[in-house]
Structure 1
Amino acid sequence: MKYQIEEKNDILFVRLQGDLIAGTDSQVMMNEVDELRDDKVMLSAVDLSNVRFMDSSGMGVLVSLLTRFRNRGGELVLIKPSDHIRKLLIVTKLNAIFTIAENDNFAEQFLKESIY
C-alpha cells in the first residue's frame, strides 16, 4: 500500500493506493497520522478511490482511525470508496458508522459542519 498525507484547511487528508491490508505500511501510516493528530488536527478524510482490495485488517485500520479521531471530539469520513470496498462496508455493516463522501469538497463540507 502506498499513501500520501496532507493537511488542508485543518483537515488531514489521507490518500491510500493499492491494497489496504495488514503490514508495516499500515502501521507506519497510522503512526504518522497519530503524530499529526497530536498537533490538534481533529478532522480527517481518507480517500479510498484508489484502493483495489481491503481485508479484515484493512477494515480494522479504518475503524481504528475513526475511533482515534472521535475519541478526541473529531470526525473522519471516507472519500469515494470503489464498488468493491463499498460492498465490503455494507456486508460488514461498517457503512452504518462511516460517512462516505463522493469527493474532497463534500468531505470538507461535512467535516466542517460536524464540529459546529
Structure 2
Amino acid sequence: MKYQTELKDEILFIRLEGDLIAGPDTQTLITDVDQKVNANVLLCAVDLSNVRFMDSSGMGVLVSLLTKFRNRGGELVLIKPSDHIRKLLIVTKLNAIFTIAENDIFAAQFLKESIY
C-alpha cells in the first residue's frame, strides 16, 4: 500500500492506493496520523477510491484512525470507496459507523459541519 497525506483547510486528507492490509506501511500511516492528531488536527478524510483490496487488518486500521479522531473530539470520513470496499463495509456493518462521501468537497463540507 502507498499513501499520501495533505493538510488542507485544517483537514488531513489521506489518499490510499493498493491493498489495505497489515504491513510496515500501515504502521507508518498510523504513526503519521498520531503525529497530526497530537498537533491538534481533528478532521480527517480518507480517500479509498484507489484501494483494490482490504482485509480485516485494513478494516482495523480504519477503525483505529476513526477512534483516534473521535477520542479528540474530531471526525473522520471515507471518500469514494470502491464497490468491493463498500460491500465489505456493509457486510461487516462498519458502514453504520463511517460516513462515506463521494468526493473531497462533500467530505470537507461534512467534516466542517460536524465540529460546529
Same fold (TM over 0.5): yes
Aligned to 1:36: 36
* d(CA) in 2 for partners of 1:11, 1:45: 7
Between the aligned residues of both structures, percent identity stands at: 79
Q: Determine if the alignment matches structure 1 residue 81 to structure 2 residue 92.
A: no
Aligned to 2:12: 12
* d(CA) in 1 for partners of 2:70, 2:48: 20
Aligned to 1:111: 111
Number of matched pairs? 116
Using the TM superposition, name which of 70-79 and 31-40 deviates more.
31-40
Aligned to 1:101: 101
Q: Which runs of 5+ in 1 are unaligned?
A: none
* d(CA) in 1 for partners of 2:8, 2:38: 16
* d(CA) in 2 for partners of 1:37, 1:82: 27
Aligned to 2:91: 91
Q: Which runs of 5+ in 2 are unaligned?
A: none
TM-score (norm 2): 0.99
Aligned to 2:70: 70
Q: Which runs of 4+ in 1 moved over 3 A?
A: none
Cα shift readout 1:48-105 (whole Å, capped 9, x = no counterpart): 0000000000000000000000000000000000000000000000000000000000
Aligned CA RMSD, in angstroms, stands at 0.3
1:37 Cα deviation from its structure 2 partner:
1.3
* d(CA) in 1 for partners of 2:33, 2:69: 10
1:36 Cα deviation from its structure 2 partner:
1.2
Structure 2 counterpart of 1:82, one-letter code? S
